[in-house]
Structure 1
Amino acid sequence: MAQALNGKLITVFGGSGFIGRHVIRILAERGYSVRAAVRHPELAEHLQPLGAVGQIMPVAASVRNKKSVERAMEGACAVINLVGILYESGAQKFDSVQAKGPATVAEVCKEQGIDTLVHISAIGADENSPAVYAKTKAAGEKAVLDAMPNAVIFRPSIVFGPEDDFFNRFGGMAQMFPTLPLIGGGHTKFQPVYVGDVALAIANAAENKVEAGKIYELGGPEVATFKECLQLMMKITHRKRFLINLPFPIARMQARFMQMMPKPMLTVDQVNMLKNDNVVSKDAQSDKRTFEGLGIEPHSMEAILPTYLDKFRPHGQYDAKRPAKS
């Protein structure tokens, strides 16, 4: 149940998404009014039960439209930008959403005198990356810090949780197919991070409980390869599937066709991203720009994955006590 409102408003761009709903729940519990700035407010009604009546207000806004950004931020004491895309579709291009969009949000913060800006990027953001996703993430970071040097930037590794697009996707594939692909042999390393831990870090930063002007890298307690992640998923879901090596050239060829679909399962850009490990850097560790430096103990995959992957077991969530099956 939400606490009594504290009279302060926080605007969350991309609030209806995977990370957004967890951030908004925490902010509502702490008594903030939340303006969820989203492209389609009618699709954000699921957020309102997370707070008291009138506490969470979905509003129409796009980071590609400065006027809508200005309206969404009026009266806010802090702004959180969670907007990002995994693939391009229609007017949603990497450059406009992940590079120019953050620049617009930061500029409006500066114009409106809002001192607190929290921006979500990703591990792997790199202006020299062959992946457009990573290039535009890096461009967005630079634009934010140019306009708002005291902004807080978080770079999470792959984020997992009940609505994630990684373990849920491969859990669903394991239900339908006898094999699962190991792109590039499955050697890419990840440091999967629980969405609730990421949301807590974001909420703390919005309350100025985090040292500003820094880029933090967020990874969970375990480093695991792509292959090890799939093996863990199969262990939890009680399914045995053949893991087939899919070399990068073949994966790119398949991705060229898949990315023409409305919601592609794989794109060339994603294949390029998988060529590099997605883990917290040594620099971030030594500078304590990590969960450790934030005073947050991250949850393990083993502690969280069974709470939502049980639906992919042969007999669903009631299969918890059954032995593993093929």
Structure 2
Amino acid sequence: MAALDTLVTVFGGSGFVGRHVVRALAKRDYRIRVAVRRPELAGHLQPLGRVGQIHAVQANLRHPGSIKAAMRDASVVINLVGILTESGAQKFNAVQAGGAGAIAQAAAEIGARMVHVSAIGADPDAASGYSRTKAAGEQNVLAAVPSASILRPSLVFGPEDSLTNRFASLARMAPVMPVFGADTKMQPVFVGDVAEAVADAADGKTKPGAVYELGGPEVMTMREIVELVLKTIERERMILPVPMGIAKLQSHILQFAPGDFKLTPDQVAMLGIDNVVSNAAKAAGLTLEGLGIAPESMEAIIPQYLWRFRATGQFAHNGSN
């Protein structure tokens, strides 16, 4: 447990992974300052801790002064900022490479412990801009803070995710489930396990300067993930694997689609590459298991939040009248 006077600043703490990280840190008695672009939209985080334990402040990655102000007196700095698609001024390079570097530079100036969340697949030579800028972000962080902890999760799932909920929502309306990258291998990791790993890194339990790869207990193809979602919500649908060549063509149109139907060329490029924990990370113990965390399976977790997509509801099979 951290002392209550230990302050950690979390950049990107209001997002999907962020709220679980904030909860994990609060349970360990940290004081938490959540740095976000719009603090008024981070009020949902305050009930995750005790009165006064969690506080949101404004920060903009393009303004170094706001970054420094957000981490004033902090002992630990955590960067969770990332985007899946580009929009307006939110560009991969600016957010995931430049932004990560700016945060790490400010952390180095105050001597704070640095924890940076990246992604499996980060590669300077990757076909996707997302993966290239994730790699650049890691490089920028380690250049500024060589002792930083880098955590690379695989596909993250959980109650508020945009993956399993997206498939389940589509299955309610569509008789056919198109699957892009159907044979691509993933190692889905529960968001709660990722949050515990981040909290462990904040505690100083990770190896300085090491890159950890976080995956769940099972390697699954995208097709198998969709099949599990359909089984969970008790809906039979035809699964239609979409060849990558066709997916690339469709993405040039679907990148302008709204909500769940959006698919960008960059996302298609990522779907062509397996996203699993490497043998090197396993051998070095740079995994969830290496941190003493037993990862939860997707099959064990998703029924807890996808039941609402069942036609029969949550309690149809509990035997009650």
- Paired amino acid for 2:298: M
Correspondence 1:1-326 to 2 at 5 A: 6-114=4-112, 116-184=113-181, 186-261=182-257, 263=259, 265-321=262-318
Would the alpha carbon gap of residues 294 and 60 (structure 1) be closer, same or farther in structure 2, given more than 3 Å must change? same
Question: How far 1:318 sits from its partner (Å)?
Answer: 3.4
Question: How far 1:130 sits from its partner (Å)?
Answer: 0.8
Instruction: Summarize deviations over 1:165-220 as a string: whole Å, max 9, x none.
Output: 11001010001101111214x10000000000000000010111222210000000
Question: How far 1:90 sits from its partner (Å)?
Answer: 1.0
Greater alpha carbon shift after TM alignment, 151-160 vs 52-61: 52-61
Question: How far 1:320 sits from its partner (Å)?
Answer: 4.4
Instruction: Determine the C-alpha separation between the residues in 2 that align with 1:143 and 1:282.
Output: 25
- Give the SS at the match of 2:119: coil
CA contact (8 A) 2:2 2:203 kept: no
Instruction: Determine the C-alpha separation between the residues in 2 that align with 1:312 and 1:137.
Output: 34
Instruction: Determine the C-alpha separation between the residues in 2 that align with 1:27 and 1:132.
Output: 31
Instruction: Determine the C-alpha separation between the residues in 2 that align with 1:174 and 1:64.
Output: 40
RMSD: 1.5
Question: How far 1:54 sits from its partner (Å)?
Answer: 1.3
Identity over aligned pairs, percent: 54
Instruction: Summarize deviations over 1:128-160 as a string: whole Å, max 9, x none.
Output: 011000000000000000110100000000001
- TM-score, scaled relative to structure 1: 0.94
Instruction: Determine the C-alpha separation between the residues in 1 that align with 2:313 and 2:62.
Output: 42
- Give the SS at the match of 1:74: coil
Instruction: Determine the C-alpha separation between the residues in 2 that align with 1:65 and 1:39.
Output: 11
Instruction: Determine the C-alpha separation between the residues in 1 that align with 2:135 and 2:20.
Output: 25
Question: How far 1:111 sits from its partner (Å)?
Answer: 1.3
Instruction: Determine the C-alpha separation between the residues in 1 that align with 2:241 and 2:297.
Output: 27
- Paired amino acid for 2:72: E
- TM-score, scaled relative to structure 2: 0.96
- Paired amino acid for 2:161: D
Question: How far 1:258 sits from its partner (Å)?
Answer: 1.9
Instruction: Determine the C-alpha separation between the residues in 1 that align with 2:230 and 2:90.
Output: 34
Instruction: Summarize deviations over 1:2-59 as a string: whole Å, max 9, x none.
Output: x996111100000001111111111112211100111111111000001111111011
- Give the SS at the match of 1:68: helix
- Paired amino acid for 1:28: A
Aligned pair count?
318
- Paired amino acid for 1:112: I
CA contact (8 A) 1:183 1:245 kept: yes
CA contact (8 A) 1:98 1:136 kept: yes
- Give the SS at the match of 2:42: helix
- Paired amino acid for 2:105: E
CA contact (8 A) 1:89 1:262 kept: no
